[in-house]
Amino acid sequence: MATTESNAGKDIARHLEKGMKRNTYLDLKPLAKARDLWFSAIEESGFALGEEKVALPDSRGRITARIVQANLSSPPFHAAAMDGIAVRAEDTFGASPRRPLDLQIGRQAFWINTGQKLPEGCNAVIMIEHLVASPSGESVRIERAAFPWQHVRKLGEDMVSSEILLAPGTRIGPYEIGALAAARVLAVPVCKKPVVAIIPSGSEIVPLMRASEEALREGRCWPEFNSLIFASLVEEAGAQAVVRDIVPDDPDLLRKAVQGALADGADIVLLNAGSSAGSRDYTAHVIGSLGKVLVHGVAVMPGKPAVLGLVDGHPVLGAPGYPVSATIVVEEFLLPLLARLQHTLPKSRQKVSARLCQALPSRPGMEERIRVKLGDVDGTMMAVPLARGAGTVTSLSRADGMLTIPASCEGLDAGAAVSVALLRPEERIQSALLAIGSHDNTLDLLDSLVRRRTSLGCSLTSVHVGSLGGLRAIEQGQCHLAGSHLLNMEDGVYNRQAIMDNISRPVILMRLVDRVQGFMVRPGNPLNIQGIRDLVREDVTFINRQRGSGTRVLLDCLLGKEGLKPQAIKGYTAEEFTHMNVAAAVLSGRADVGLGVLASARALGLDFIPVGVEEYDLVIPRRFWEDERMQALVATIRSDEFKEQVLAMGGYGVEKTGQIVWEYQGRDK
């Protein structure tokens, strides 16, 4: 968040008074080289965690610090593996159905239960099912000889005392606990948990739970939540996270915060924000003044403003303030370090091959991480890129995977084969239906309902590229279905002409909802906007939808009917990809008006001037119609529960929801 002009001036003046120069990236190091340089310096410094012993019940999730040996053999004696009698096998030789043998209880045979220790001199067990007791109970008859060690668990059969059970770097789970318990290892030598001090910095941020909605809306502060992400990542890596108080943008206070964290027992310090090269970015300067900066700037996007250093022999890491950029820095540097210090390997992500749905230009010389949505369409995994901004934290929560564009590459072409590291289980992705096309709030509702209503693990994952983009994705075999609301200006019919113009294969057109479109304006409609002609006023700024979206087509249709030219509208070329983003632009004051659905206006408390009702349909390739996932989706759409919740959102009609309104046979029919 930008400070006010006066505050910014004071910050810069204070910065200059301290005689500090603006930071610069002297050398953007490749990611792997930067990591190796940092790790080597840490090793050379002699930094190590040491070990501690923990009680066996408390050892789950901990990492063994050295080899762990059995203290006791298992079993610790020769034990019966069956209920029956314990015998000397040699005493039973010659027994057969023709020549049964009677054994005296207490002298030649001894009753025994499973798990009991064999009596002295015995070396076999005969199952109770193969015995006939005498009426007096003093003997038993057998018709088959036993062989030595029959039905016996011999001493040390599972493990022998002093045998190595676990290697160093083993993460202890339920099965390891069982083995340790059997070997009577009651105290386990484990790596000391690394303590990571997380220090958020920034004069404009406040603790998440103390940030009021009013202050956030008015732009008086930013909520600090990066520390929640970092702490979760750190603890998943087997370390202990300690979130320190927020430190203002002051190098002296930051210096004291780092020293205080180390004095309080932190092994590693993570400074968040201030790692870039701006006048208020002090991280590199602070680390350098206390110790040594090894790396400032890494050739990876997002994540370039990373700072790697050492202070008093302790690793110190500076991560940028943008959530996605900061998370990548933590994943690429801090998590591998935590694994290395605990003698284990970093958590690896499963990788799958996929085909890229659209071109991805990239800056040569910079390794780039791209978040993607995935869907298995006709046996091919399709990858749809999400927003690339370093601050779009929802692109992490919504992403199914991450692909890397190498530093030597200028980008990837549409249709390129790519390797994607999965952020979700592959089986969950395989069970999802991929929708590409127009945005509507009811798609998210539909996803939540179909997940709950089916036992198939079915879900709906949607990517918003506009109606026309969705139709083209269907034609190219990139998705299972598409949302569309493209109006034909000549006959006033939705979607049919657009389908015939862009799709050659058979599809089914099913109504999802009828929805009210209109102009979204700030509460009270301060500019008194009443209709389409108000958009060309000089005092009105408009926010548009992207080319190919149904809303953009509707706008152009309305302009054409009134004889208005798009270039007369201030903001016509400013684009957003969803109705909610348009509503947010109006709410924030970035625009005065935008065209969108009533549900989005209501969600953000905007006033609404309706212009008409449009048909929002799902375009489904005929070959997917019988798919059990698609039928589960259709059943959910046709359910009373879905219709009731859609009506509760406001601005929708459900009279034809779930109806097949048209079947297109394709151009070859």
DSSP characters over 10-58: HHHHHHHHTTPPPP--S--B-HHHHHHHHHHHHHHTT----EEEEEGGG
Does the domain made of 51-74+158-191 have the CATH classification 3.90.105.10?
A: yes
Question: Which residue blocks in 225-293 are alpha helix, DSSP H?
Answer: 226-236, 251-263, 283-290
Residue with tokens 């990876």: 300
Nearest to 614 by CA among 500, 499, 488: 488
As a whole number, the mean pLDDT across the chain is 90
Residues 6 or more apart in contact with residue 370 via CB below 8 angstroms: 360, 385, 386, 388, 402, 403, 404, 405
Domain ranges of the chain: 5-47+194-341, 51-74+158-191, 79-153, 351-464, 505-664
First to last CA, the chain: 57
Question: Which residue blocks in 507-639 are alpha helix, DSSP H?
Answer: 550-562, 579-588, 598-603, 628-637
The contacts found for 107-112 with CB under 8 angstroms, 24 or more apart, are: 109/85, 109/139, 109/140, 110/85, 110/86, 111/84, 111/85, 112/80, 112/83, 112/84, 112/85, 112/86
Name which residue leads in pLDDT, 22 or 104: 104
In percent, how much of the chain has pLDDT > 90? 73
Q: What does the block give as tokens for 573?
A: 């070329």
**3-state SS class at 630:** helix
Identify the pLDDT of residue 24.
52
**For residue 205, what pLDDT band results from cuts at 50, 70 and 90?**
confident
Q: How far apart are CA 601 and CA 438, in angstroms?
A: 17
Identify the pLDDT of residue 362.
86
Q: How far apart are CA 635 and CA 85, in angstroms?
A: 63
The pLDDT of 139-159, averaged and rounded, is 94
Does the domain made of 79-153 have the CATH classification 2.170.190.11?
A: yes
**For residue 278, what pLDDT band results from cuts at 50, 70 and 90?**
low
Q: How far apart are CA 463 and CA 484, in angstroms?
A: 13
Helix (H) or strand (E) holding 317: strand 314-319
Predicted TM-score (pTM) of the model is 0.78
Please give the backbone phi and psi of residue 517, each rounded to the nearest 5 degrees, phi first: -105, 150
Cis preceding-peptide flag for 506 (omega within 30 of 0): no
Residue with tokens 């210096």: 255
Q: How far apart are CA 152 and CA 77, in angstroms?
A: 10
Beta-strand relationship, 132-133 and 139-142: antiparallel
CATH topology of domain 351-464: Beta-clip (2.40.340)
Query: Does the pLDDT of residue 19 top 60, yes or no?
Result: no
Nearest to 617 by CA among 509, 456, 472: 509
Beta-strand relationship, 360-361 and 411-412: antiparallel
In percent, how much of the chain has pLDDT > 70? 93
Query: Does the pLDDT of residue 8 top 70, yes or no?
Result: no
Q: How far apart are CA 279 and CA 283, in angstroms?
A: 11
Domain 505-664, second-level architecture: 3-Layer(aba) Sandwich (3.40)
Query: Does the pLDDT of residue 531 top 80, yes or no?
Result: yes
Domain 5-47+194-341, second-level architecture: 3-Layer(aba) Sandwich (3.40)
